Structure 1
Amino acid sequence: MTEPAGDGTRVLVVEDDRPLGALLLRMFAAQGYRAELAPDGQRGLHLALSREYDVMVIDRGLPAIEGLDLLGRLRRSGMTTPALILTALGTLADRIGGLDGGADDYLVKPFEVEELLARVRVLARRRAQSAGVVPVGDARFDLVTRAVTTPGGDAVTLSGRESDLLRLLAQYPSRVFTRDEIVARIFPETATDSLVDTYVHYLRRKLGADVVRTVRGVGYRLGAL
């Protein structure tokens, strides 16, 4: 077994085989990852859309929503989180279909633990490297460190929730998020969307009125078109 290297990397495991799912959670935890398990495709879809992950590990033969169908829905929503398909379906056609269906990697069961961990490390590094720095109004936002800097090089201090909201919008700069979607992802403990408007106001006050754009009747997106 390798030395713990997860460093808090967030992993979503979508696996209906309960013993295997529990084994994967223990394996990831031992390596320093923060992993969650979804036992079917419907739960996997909900978790993936309502929480933030760095890597997804998805079985194909899932109840409720099949693995590639699940991944296709996530990709069509604009989600770019790296995904590894972990499945017993291992023909050439299966592997090609999985990669063409939106997977970043494909591993066939039974598998070696060291190989799975190595592949997840690669995907996690790819996620971190591709995150980059995004312009937010006149400032720049580092999606990895969450640091905000002005054109003059000054740092802008954001609260945890402000940072979470800005990161969500900055990850998908062309996507409009409804208030309900933002509540589910950033403020899951509250049922009101007025909190969203409040935090949008906070971001505009700190970073300028153009940092978040209101799309009337729909919700919010990053900046102006």
Structure 2
Amino acid sequence: MTDAAVPAASLLVVEDDRELGPLLVRLFRGAGYGTDLAPDGQAGLHLALTRRYDAMILDRGLPAIEGLDLLGRLRRSGVTVPVLVLTALGTLPDRVAGLDGGAEDYLVKPFEIDELLARVRVLLRRRPGSADRLTVAGAEFDLISRTVTGPAGTAVALSGRESDLLRLLARNPARVFTREEIVAQVFPDASSVTLADTYVHYLRRKLGAEVVSTVRGVGYRLGQG
């Protein structure tokens, strides 16, 4: 089979299976992608933080750092590489947890090679740079610099936690997040859900009241302005 790879695309495979990991590397390199292999979560975290990749293929049951824990750390660190979770954990709650945890796609083992390559091609269509920017209430949110630039060209800098909260909402514009969900994903070490209210207030103060909408009795979502 001939697979038309995106030129110079670079992949990171995080897979601890000693047979599957090298097999995936050979598969992707044969399809024309530059590919690195991390055999555990700690190695995957190091590579993803120190090198730039166009997509990541991530197992869940990893030693050292579990797959979704690794993904959460990367998202909180501002790493926006598109991620395909490739795992044997295939129940509906497992798939929902992976997508809610920041993955763009989720594929269950065993898998068909053609489908895996097709899904990777979909991830790579996000290049160049689209994974680093989001549209927020008519403004441009740069995930790398953590700034929001309005139509008039005025840029507003955000703190790390403000940026994490805005990224969560902007990546899921149709979803309403409860305060508990926001705290679990953005402030995992916090003990009070009121932290969600506090940082929504900070975002509104910096970017305008319309940036975050309140859904009474449920929680918050991205504003529709």
TM, length-normalised to structure 1: 0.60
- Which stretches in structure 1 are left out of the alignment for 5+ residues? 107-118
The question of whether the paired residues in 2 share the 8 Å contact of 1:55 and 1:124 is answered with: no
Are 1:39 and 2:61 counterparts? Answer: yes
The one of 68, 79, 104 equivalent to 1:81 is 104
Alignment identity in percent?
43
Are 1:105 and 2:118 counterparts? Answer: yes
Q: Which amino acid aligns with 2:61?
A: P
Which residue matches 1:111?
none
Which residue matches 1:207?
207
By how many angstroms is 1:223 displaced?
0.6
Deviations 1:176-216 (A, max 9, x none): 01111111111001121111100000011111111111111
CA RMSD, Structure 1 to Structure 2 (Å): 4.4
Q: How many residues align?
A: 186
Measure, in 1, the Cα distance between the counterparts of 2:125 and 2:211: 28
Deviations 1:57-92 (A, max 9, x none): 403xx2xx32788447756x6977145x485544xx
Change (3 A) 1:198 1:47: same
Which residue matches 2:135?
134
Which residue matches 1:217?
217
Measure, in 2, the Cα distance between the counterparts of 1:80 and 1:37: 11
Measure, in 2, the Cα distance between the counterparts of 1:161 and 1:72: 24
- Which stretches in structure 2 are left out of the alignment for 5+ residues? 1-7, 23-36, 50-55
Q: Which amino acid aligns with 1:161?
A: R
The question of whether the paired residues in 1 share the 8 Å contact of 2:214 and 2:221 is answered with: yes
Change (3 A) 1:181 1:30: closer
Measure, in 2, the Cα distance between the counterparts of 1:184 and 1:201: 18
Q: Which amino acid aligns with 2:199?
A: Y
Which residue matches 1:109?
none
Deviations 1:140-164 (A, max 9, x none): 3234553211232111011111011
Change (3 A) 1:49 1:31: closer
The question of whether the paired residues in 2 share the 8 Å contact of 1:78 and 1:172 is answered with: no
The one of 83, 89, 98 equivalent to 1:55 is 83
Which residue matches 2:152?
152
The question of whether the paired residues in 1 share the 8 Å contact of 2:60 and 2:86 is answered with: no
Q: Which amino acid aligns with 1:25?
A: A
The question of whether the paired residues in 1 share the 8 Å contact of 2:136 and 2:211 is answered with: no
Measure, in 2, the Cα distance between the counterparts of 1:166 and 1:30: 23
Comparing 127-136 with 47-56, which one deviates more in the overlay?
47-56
The one of 77, 82, 90 equivalent to 1:66 is 90
The question of whether the paired residues in 2 share the 8 Å contact of 1:156 and 1:206 is answered with: yes
Change (3 A) 1:206 1:89: closer
Deviations 1:86-114 (A, max 9, x none): 85544xxxx67xx4xxx6736xxxxxxxx
Which residue matches 1:195?
195
Measure, in 1, the Cα distance between the counterparts of 2:167 and 2:148: 11
The question of whether the paired residues in 2 share the 8 Å contact of 1:50 and 1:181 is answered with: no
Measure, in 1, the Cα distance between the counterparts of 2:217 and 2:73: 21
Change (3 A) 1:30 1:192: closer
Measure, in 2, the Cα distance between the counterparts of 1:144 and 1:47: 19
Change (3 A) 1:33 1:198: same
Which residue matches 2:52?
none
